[in-house]
A and B are shown apart, each in its own frame.
Chain A
Amino acid sequence: MRRAVGLRVRLILVLLIPPILVVGVYGFVRVRMERAELLAEDQRNVVTIATAAQVAVERALRDAQPSELAAVLADVVKDHRQISRLRVFDRELRPTTVSNPLATSDETSTDVLRRVMQTGRAEGFTRRAGKESFFFYVLPVRAAKGAIIGSIEIAHSTAAIDKRIQNGTWDIVVRLSVLVVSMTALTGIVVQRQLLRPLFALTEGIRNLGRGNPAAPLPVDRHDELGRVAEAFNTMASQLRIARRQLVAENERALELEQQLRHSATLAVAGRLASGLAHEIGTPLNIVSGRAEFLLHNLPADDPRRAELQVIIAQIDRISTMIRSLLDTVRPLKPTIQNIGVKSVVDDLLILLTHTARRHGVTLDVSVPEDLPPVRADRNQLQQVLINLLMNAFEAARPAGAVRLTAAVASRESRPGVDIIVRDTGHGIPASLMNRIFEPFFSTKPPGEGTGLGLPICRDIVKSLDGCIGVESTPGRETAFTVWLPSGPAE
């Protein structure tokens, strides 16, 4: 908000200062020029009147009695309202006749009077008297023979002109203020509507996007730069939406895969436990039911104990049925052995693996060539083997290690096949544990975390596929599991 106001103020200042300066300076100069013109015109008038008064005064001094002088001056003053006062001075610079006393000052500029008397040339000057400004014009008064016998001073107030100039100045100030106010308002409105409002919308959109809300697209109803910004923003937002959706979908898929795998791993473990147990109790159950059966055969047909033996046999049957149905649920489906590209199996797992690697903080490097010969395997089982090995590798390499999955053509006992190698930069396996890691229920993880069946299951699967599994480890450095599987004949 503060930044937006700042932008508005800055724009207004930038837009208004130059025209205000120009108009202000122009107004000032205009006022000065007008004043100078008015004064000049005024002074010309004064000179004209003064010359007329000079003629009248000279004639009155020559022809008439000096006592009529006052009446002559009064006539001149009466005819020309601009004239504030007329004074006639004698040779000794004493005022002899005064048309009317001036409200402000009767001071005499003796220097000017003396100079005019000596040179015989008229002279004008301006002097402030109190609040008012006056223009004085002094002319020589000559006798009939031309000798200068005195002088005449005419005073003219410039108050009228000052007033006009003042009014003019006020006028300009008022106009300028109106201009400034209206331009400020106009600029403000334009900036607000054309710039700030779209910017606010953009800001709000960005904020929403940042919060992860699916922001409504900005209206693109203008064809200027802001319209293009809105368009670019909308494009970006929709791209982000798509990317986000893809990410979510990918995550969901990875989680789903992980759950499926965990489920199948659980089933594999449960199956192994169940079949192990079933296997152990199968024989004792058989002995019990067999003994009961034997007794039953040896008892006469009407012996009441037959019924009890039949109960024993029936209960053994019941237990067998229960165990069989349990085994049916947990026993893995019959594997479908076929030609399988290792690359395609790895590619199917890639989302899950990168996801899991990232969660462990481990870097995963997969390099499986495209042109490997296919191996003979069941897809699900091969997946399970790879996942078990890679999960172990991630666990071992955490928190910041690296796991590498590679595959290469390799022959074993002159049979063609493929080596799949899972290598981790983990803590390695101590030599003393090396020959125990494929034992069922052997685990170095804390109780409850590892089943100790991951590697045994891997080994069983690989063996069932006529392949082999091996491990090499440098304690403290790295571990590499190698799964070799025979490659199938071309189908």
Chain B
Amino acid sequence: MQMKRRTAGTVLVIDDDDEMRTVLKDFLQRDGHRVVEAPSGDAAVLLVETEPVDVVILDKEMPGMNGLDVLAFLHRRFPATPVIFITAFGGPRVADESYRRGAVEYIEKPFRLSSVVDRVQKLIDDAE
């Protein structure tokens, strides 16, 4: 179809909000990606051990394990896997912190889903 040089990948979406996860999933699946969901940091940490992923979309505010801690863990465990860190109106301090802990991208909610999906696509393409 229209996706000529488009590579599909596996994207892990970590967010405690079901609706948020679903809307991200709908967008990503529409572009042909496979989406794995985790409703919390703890679930995500377990999941990544069995599920190979290409890109991670990680929300900061979650009950249990904090997004920043998950980010640090992922960066240590899978340094090659790019993580897009998202949070609602985090501000420059959170941005700073997320880059220091290994995020490749920091995006504030509310964002344009199309731009995030484009970004995911680019990361997958780059990894090829």
Interface residues of A (CB under 8 A from B): 275, 278-287, 289-291, 293-294, 297, 313, 316, 320, 323-324, 327, 331, 334
Contacts and interface: CB of A to CB of B under 8 A. Distances in A.
Nearest to A313: B112
Interface in B83-106: 87-89, 91-93
B25 to A, nearest CB: 11
Contacts of B17: 283, 287
28 contacts: A279-B61, A279-B87, A279-B89, A280-B88, A282-B87, A282-B89, A282-B108, A283-B17, A283-B19, A283-B20, A285-B109, A286-B109, A286-B111, A287-B23, A289-B110, A289-B113, A290-B24, A290-B110, A290-B113, A293-B27, A293-B112, A293-B113, A293-B114, A294-B23, A323-B89, A327-B89, A334-B92, A334-B93
Contact of B89 (A278, A291, A313): A278
A44 to B, nearest CB: 133
Contact of B88 (A278, A289, A316): A278
Contacts of A283: 15, 17, 19-20, 88, 109
A297 B30 contact: yes
Contacts of A275: 89, 91
Given A287-B20, A290-B113, A294-B113, A279 B27 contact: no
| Residue among A280, A290, A327, A334 with max Cβ neighbours from chain B (10 Å) | A290
Nearest to A279: B88
B26 interface: yes
Nearest to A278: B89
B18 to A, nearest CB: 10
A279 to B, nearest CB: 5
Contacts of B88: 278-283, 286
Interface of B: 15, 17, 19-20, 23-24, 26-27, 30, 61, 87-89, 91-93, 108-114
B19 A289 contact: no
Given A279-B89, A282-B89, A327-B89, 19 more contacts: A279-B61, A280-B88, A282-B109, A283-B19, A283-B88, A285-B109, A285-B110, A286-B23, A286-B88, A286-B110, A287-B23, A289-B112, A291-B23, A293-B27, A293-B114, A294-B23, A297-B30, A323-B89, A334-B92
A331 B91 contact: yes
Contact of B110 (A280, A294, A320, A331): A320
B89 A324 contact: yes
| Residue among A279, A283, A286 with max Cβ neighbours from chain B (10 Å) | A286
Contacts of B91: 275, 327, 331
Nearest to B15: A283
Contacts of B30: 294, 297
Contacts of A280: 88
| Residue among B61, B87, B112 with max Cβ neighbours from chain A (10 Å) | B112
Contacts, number: 66
A328 to B, nearest CB: 9
Contacts of B27: 290, 293-294
B112 A282 contact: no
A294 to B, nearest CB: 6
Contacts of A313: 112
Nearest 10 A/B pairs, CB to CB? A282-B88, A286-B110, A278-B89, A282-B109, A290-B23, A285-B110, A286-B109, A290-B113, A287-B19, A279-B88
Contacts of B20: 283, 286-287, 290
B109 A294 contact: no
A429 to B, nearest CB: 29
B26 to A, nearest CB: 6
B32 to A, nearest CB: 14
A466 B93 CA distance: 16
Nearest to A274: B89
A286 B20 CA distance: 8
B127 to A, nearest CB: 25
Contacts of A284: 19
A278 B60 CA distance: 14
Nearest to B22: A287
A230 B25 CA distance: 93
Nearest to B31: A297
A125 to B, nearest CB: 134
A313 B113 CA distance: 11
A279 B27 CA distance: 23
Contacts of A294: 23, 26-27, 30, 113
Contacts of B108: 282
Contacts of A289: 110, 112-113
A320 B109 CA distance: 9
A290 B117 CA distance: 11
A295 to B, nearest CB: 10
A284 B114 CA distance: 17
A279 B89 CA distance: 6
Contacts of A290: 20, 23-24, 27, 110, 113
A287 B20 CA distance: 6
A334 B91 CA distance: 11
Contacts of A282: 87-89, 108-110
A290 B13 CA distance: 15
| Residue among B20, B89, B91 with max Cβ neighbours from chain A (10 Å) | B89
A17 to B, nearest CB: 93
A285 B92 CA distance: 20
Nearest to B111: A286
Contacts of B15: 283
| Residue among B27, B109, B114 with max Cβ neighbours from chain A (10 Å) | B109
A180 to B, nearest CB: 97
Nearest to A332: B93
